[in-house]
Amino acid sequence: MGSPSNKQIGSAFERTLCQKLANLGYWVHFLAPDARGAQPFDIIAVKHGVAHAIDCKTCVAATFNISRLEENQILAFEHWLRCGNTTPIIAVLHEGRIYAIEYDRLKEQRSIKLNTETERAQSFWDDERSDT
């Protein structure tokens, strides 16, 4: 049996992140793709009255580029922001670690280096931040 496909790896990451967020006390909803395979983002996670739009990406390179976002995702993120919601999060799985990149920051910088500084600065997944 061969290696898992990119789609299988991505789907497994989406399931893992949904479970992780649920374990942290979030109400979590996975947005299933439509018949074409499109969706605006992957997850809505809500805790303490604050909703988060989250898109999951896997990344082999040490830098995540905005070009990885599809046009429909960018349009959905922009609409989400116009509705007064929190900045969307791109959850990036890289070398077994999950990085939370704020969409506004990615839009401004165009690419983000994935390292421990990024992880500390964008620590959405920490128990400490999730309880605030």
CB under 8 A, 24+ apart: contacts of 24-31: 24/125, 24/127, 24/130, 25/130, 25/131, 26/52, 26/130
CATH number at residue 94: 3.40.1350.10
Q: Give the predicted TM-score (pTM) of the model.
A: 0.86
- Residue 48 is part of which domain span? 6-130
Q: What pLDDT, on a 0 to 100 scale, did the predictor assign at position 125?
A: 58
How many domains does the chain fold into? Answer: 1
Q: Per the domain annotation, does 68 fall within a domain?
A: yes
Any domain includes 1? no
pLDDT bracket for residue 5 (50, 70, 90): confident
More confident residue, 107 or 132: 107
Whether the per-residue pLDDT at 20 is higher than 70: the answer is: yes
Q: Could you tell me the two tokens for 27?
A: 């109400």
CA distances to 21, 42, 87 from 116, rounded to whole Å, are 21, 24, 21
- φ/ψ of 127, rounded to 5, equals -55, -40
